[in-house]
C-alpha cells in the first residue's frame, strides 16, 4: 500500500514539474514575440510623412468600370502621396454589381504616375422558368426550361413547337428584364385535332349500350353505359370529323345514338281512373 502511494506521489510530482516548466517556456516565448512585434511596430511608426518630405509627390488615378458594358460607374478618384509611401486604396460597392478584378494594382507610390482600374460586372439575376402544359389535362408536355442572365439585361421567350399540339394561350411575361424576382412563363397547349372546345350543361339519354373512352379518340374503357340511362354532359369537343361529350372525369362518349335535354328528363305521373 505504501509503495502504491509513493508511486502515485512521484507521478503527481513529475507532472507538476512538467507543467511548471512548460508554463515558464511559454511566458519566455510570449515575451520574446511581443518584443519583436513592438520593434516592428516602432519601425513602422517612424515611417511617417516626415520621412517623405524630401521625396517626389506621385499620383494614382483610380477608375471604376463596368468592363462588359464599357461604362464608368463613378467619377475617377485621384490619390497622391510621396514616392515609396503605401497606397491606401478602398474598393467601393455599387448596387447590383460585383467586383471582378483589379488592373494595374500597386501597393506603393512610384516615380511614375499610375492608373488603377477596378473592374465590376453586373451580378446574376433571378432565373426565368418556362413550363409547357396541356391546357385541358394539365399534363406537363416537356421538361421546363430556365433562362439565366445578369441584372437588368433583356430576355425573350419563344414557345416551342410540340408534336400533336398547338399553342392555346400563356401566362407570365415572355419578354422583360432580369431582376431579383424569379418569374414563371407558362405556355398552354391544346390537342391539334381539337377544333372547338366548349363548356356545356345539358343531359343526354342513351338509346343503345355505349362505349366509354378515357379521352377523345382515346382507349375504350371496360364498362359500357346501359341503354336508356341519362347522363349530364360537362364538356363538348369537336374534332375534324366527330364530336365528343365529357360525362365527368375521364369518361367520354361520341355524340351519336342519344337524345339531348336541357333539363333532367322527369317521368310524368298520371292518375288512372279505377
269 occurs within a structural domain: no
- Asked whether the beta carbons of 212 and 251 are under 8 A apart, the reply is yes
pLDDT value at residue 266 = 74
Beta bridge partners of 108: 86
pLDDT at residue 50 in the model: 46
pTM: predicted TM-score of the whole model, two decimal places: 0.61
pLDDT of residue 8: 46
User: Does residue 223 belong to any structural domain of this protein?
Assistant: yes
Q: Identify whether residues 116 and 142 lie together within a single domain.
A: no
pLDDT, position 33? 62
Three-class SS of the chain: CHHHHHHHHHHHHHHHHHHHHHHHHHHHHHHHHHHHHHHHHHHHHCCCHHHHCCCCEEEEEEEEEECCCCEECCCCEEEEEECCCECCCCCCCCCCEEEEEEECCCCECCCCCEEEEEEEEECECCCEEEEEEECCCCCEEEEEEEECCECCCEEECCCCCCCCEEEEEEECCCEEECCCCCCEEEEEEEECCEEEEEEEEEEEEECCCECCECCCCCCECCCCECCCCEEEEEEEEEECCCEEEECCCCCEEECCCEEEECCCCCCCCCCCCC
Per the CB < 8 A criterion, the answer to whether 213 and 256 are in contact is no
Taking a C-beta distance cutoff of 8 angstroms, is the pair 57, 80 a contact? yes
Give me the residues of the chain with pLDDT under 70, please. Answer: 1-55, 267-274
Please choose, from the candidates 180, 185, 135, the residue with its C-alpha nearest in 3D space to the C-alpha of residue 156.
185
- Whether residue 252 sits in one domain with residue 233: yes
The three cell numbers of residue 165 are 399540339
46 located within any domain? no
Q: Which helix (H) or strand (E) holds 164?
A: none
Q: Which three cell numbers stand for residue 183?
A: 418569374
Number of domains comprising the chain? 4
Q: Quick count: other Cβ atoms within 10 Å of Cβ 75?
A: 8
Domain closes at, from 77, 104, 122: 122
Query: What's the confidence (pLDDT) of residue 274?
Result: 45
Q: What is the DSSP letter of 100?
A: E
Report d(CA 245, CA 240) in Å as an integer.
15
Alpha-carbon span 101 to 68, nearest angstrom? 12
**Residues 58, 118 share a domain:** yes
What is the CATH number for 173?
Answer: 3.10.20.320
Query: Domain check: are 199 and 186 in the same one?
Result: no
- Looking at the fold, whether 241 and 198 belong to one and the same domain comes out as yes
Range of the domain at 186: 128-191
Amino acid at each position: 500500500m505504501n509503495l502504491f502511494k509513493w508511486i502515485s506521489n512521484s507521478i503527481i510530482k513529475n507532472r507538476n514539474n512538467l507543467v511548471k516548466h512548460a508554463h515558464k517556456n511559454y511566458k519566455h516565448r510570449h515575451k520574446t514575440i511581443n518584443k519583436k512585434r513592438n520593434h516592428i511596430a516602432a519601425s513602422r511608426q517612424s515611417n511617417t510623412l516626415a520621412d517623405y518630405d524630401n521625396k517626389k509627390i506621385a499620383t494614382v488615378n483610380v477608375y471604376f468600370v463596368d468592363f462588359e458594358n464599357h461604362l464608368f460607374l463613378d467619377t475617377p478618384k485621384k490619390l497622391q502621396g510621396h514616392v515609396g509611401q503605401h497606397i491606401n486604396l478602398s474598393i467601393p460597392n455599387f448596387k447590383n454589381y460585383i467586383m471582378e478584378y483589379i488592373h494595374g494594382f500597386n501597393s506603393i507610390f512610384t516615380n511614375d504616375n499610375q492608373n488603377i482600374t477596378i473592374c465590376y460586372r453586373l451580378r446574376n439575376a433571378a432565373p426565368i422558368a418556362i413550363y409547357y402544359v396541356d391546357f385541358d389535362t394539365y399534363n406537363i408536355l416537356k421538361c421546363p426550361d430556365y433562362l439565366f442572365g445578369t441584372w437588368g439585361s433583356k430576355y425573350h421567350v419563344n414557345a416551342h413547337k410540340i408534336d400533336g399540339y398547338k399553342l392555346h394561350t400563356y401566362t407570365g411575361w415572355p419578354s422583360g428584364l432580369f431582376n431579383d424576382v424569379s418569374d414563371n412563363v407558362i405556355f398552354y397547349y391544346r390537342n391539334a385535332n381539337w377544333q372547338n372546345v366548349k363548356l356545356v350543361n345539358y343531359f343526354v339519354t342513351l338509346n343503345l349500350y355505349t362505349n366509354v373512352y378515357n379521352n377523345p379518340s382515346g382507349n375504350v374503357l371496360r364498362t359500357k353505359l346501359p341503354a336508356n340511362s341519362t347522363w349530364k354532359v360537362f364538356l363538348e369537343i369537336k374534332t375534324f370529323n366527330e364530336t365528343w361529350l365529357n360525362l365527368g372525369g375521364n369518361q367520354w362518349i361520341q355524340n351519336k345514338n342519344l337524345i339531348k335535354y336541357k333539363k333532367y328528363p322527369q317521368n310524368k305521373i298520371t292518375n288512372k281512373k279505377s
